[in-house]
Structure 1
Amino acid sequence: MKVSVIIPAAGQGKRMRTAKNKQFLLLDDRPIIAHTVDKFNIEEVDEIILVVKEEEQDYCHEIIEDYQLKVDQLVYGGKTRQESVYNGLQKVTAKSELVLIHDGARPLLTKRMIRNIIKEAKSHQAVITGVAVKDTIKVINHEQLVINTPDRSRLVAIQTPQAFKKDLILKAYTKASEEGYFGTDSASLVERLNRPVKVIEGSYQNLKVTTPEDLEFAEKILARRQR
């Protein structure tokens, strides 16, 4: 089964409080995106598509060359993450049967996690990673008043990578684009097609670097792994 990976990295650093794209910030003296892309350099992956801002393509080429990253295509992103992933999907090679989608700002995933989701996706059309919610979650209204408290045992915090059969995820994104619908993740678009989505165990270490505090945590996790 041919496997393609789409890594959207066309975001901004608003919550990071920096003008620089957060994917280009250094983690252990390497850009975050370099850590992320390098994890997918395994024999099970046939194609890596990196989705970037048009104005950042030259810098991305430099990173790819400097860190000898395996990237098969650079694709321009859209105004939103969803549009960026859709742009990437339309460039996936015709030979691919399975597509993984992973946040460029999640550099701490492991190759074991990637292999595990690929294995699960061979027998399921849609597979996503997640971890059990540790905190109590409250649903509130526009006045910040609690409406209800969901059963925490049935809640999962969803991460990436997420894996889908290519025809299914392309259909889901195309439908969302035609109807002007924007979901919070790729799986939510598949759910709109009434297709089952399987959740497998992710990792609490597989954090998305969004704030300065996240970057500090990522540094500590990486340092601990290298001991």
Structure 2
Amino acid sequence: MQTEKITAIVLAGGSGKRMGGTVKKQYMLLAGYPVLYYSLAAFQKSSVDTIILVTNEKEYCQKEIVQAYHFDKVTKIVSGGAERYNSVYAGLLAAEGSSYVLIHDGARPFVSQEMIDHSIETVKKYRACAVGMPVKDTIKIVDKSGFTVTTPKRETVWQVQTPQTFSYPLILAAYEKVLAKQVEGITDDTMVAEYQSDVRVKLIEGSYDNMKITTPEDITVAEALLKTSQNI
């Protein structure tokens, strides 16, 4: 019987323009470790079989992060592309032979073992899932002039996080379809999966702490969370 192979694709190719400074957000120190360290450490400890790191700083990541912290599940480091979806596709090509893939932003340091385990359990049932949380605030849909159009019911609106987890053949085919049609406005992997007409993405609860490091203020918040977090 063939064993199912589960691969984590960790994206660390962002430019970090909103962060400012000379150090990209995924390499900034957070409580003494690079931001990227935390998500790699979580997948290293998890039940995933292998990790593919997508970055444009391959030599630096190999020496200063993968080797330095003994992340032996990182079997491939591949170059990213111009946009996020290009980087994901590069990671997917490197994940050939996988049964399922978890796609995660390396700038989200608070991914937990529970999120990873729940994602793997859910994807085997639904083929596509993502972690997220219900929004806390009232959301407004506005027109191009900034005037409100409608107010969706808050209980139907979620903020989507990563990891986003898929059947490997499904998400690879969906990405190839999107790239062939040069679809614009793709901001996450669930949007790509939804181009497969028979696929509905199951949302499961992540954590409000599962933040993405984007601005300098986020580092301060993340350091505070680390002091009380039981996940890292």
Bin for the TM-score computed over the shorter chain: over 0.9
C-alpha displacement of 1:43: 5.2
1:137 to 113, 136, 139: 139
CA contact (8 A) 2:46 2:113 kept: no
Q: Secondary structure at the residue paired with 1:114?
A: helix
Determine whether 1:216 maps to 2:216.
no
**Aligned residues with identical type, % of pairs:** 41
Aligned length: 224
In 1, Cα distance between the equivalents of 2:89 and 2:78?
10
Structure 1 partner of 2:90: 87
In 2, Cα distance between the equivalents of 1:142 and 1:43?
44
Q: TM-score, normalised by structure 2?
A: 0.93
C-alpha displacement of 1:19: 2.6
In 2, Cα distance between the equivalents of 1:132 and 1:207?
14
Structure 2 partner of 1:169: 171
In 2, Cα distance between the equivalents of 1:10 and 1:179?
24
Determine whether 1:10 maps to 2:20.
no
CA contact (8 A) 2:130 2:201 kept: yes
In 2, Cα distance between the equivalents of 1:109 and 1:147?
35
In 1, Cα distance between the equivalents of 2:144 and 2:22?
31
2:52 to 49, 61, 66: 49
CA contact (8 A) 1:139 1:147 kept: yes
In 2, Cα distance between the equivalents of 1:120 and 1:57?
32
Structure 1 partner of 2:117: 115
Structure 1 partner of 2:210: 206
Q: TM-score, normalised by structure 1?
A: 0.95
C-alpha displacement of 1:225: 2.4
1:190 to 171, 189, 193: 193
In 2, Cα distance between the equivalents of 1:223 and 1:69?
24
For 2:42, the aligned partner's letter is: K
Q: Secondary structure at the residue paired with 2:45?
A: coil
In 2, Cα distance between the equivalents of 1:144 and 1:225?
38
CA contact (8 A) 2:132 2:207 kept: yes
CA contact (8 A) 1:34 1:69 kept: no
C-alpha displacement of 1:13: 1.6
Determine whether 1:77 maps to 2:55.
no
Q: Secondary structure at the residue paired with 1:4?
A: strand
CA contact (8 A) 1:100 1:164 kept: yes
- Cα deviation code 1:54-104 (max 9, x no counterpart): xx212111221112223110000000010000011001131x200100001
Gaps of 5+ in 1: none
Over the aligned positions, Cα root-mean-square deviation in angstroms equals 1.4
Structure 1 partner of 2:148: 146
Structure 1 runs, 4 residues or longer, greater than 6 Å off: none
In 1, Cα distance between the equivalents of 2:105 and 2:229?
21
Determine whether 1:24 maps to 2:39.
no
In 2, Cα distance between the equivalents of 1:92 and 1:74?
11
Q: Secondary structure at the residue paired with 1:158?
A: strand
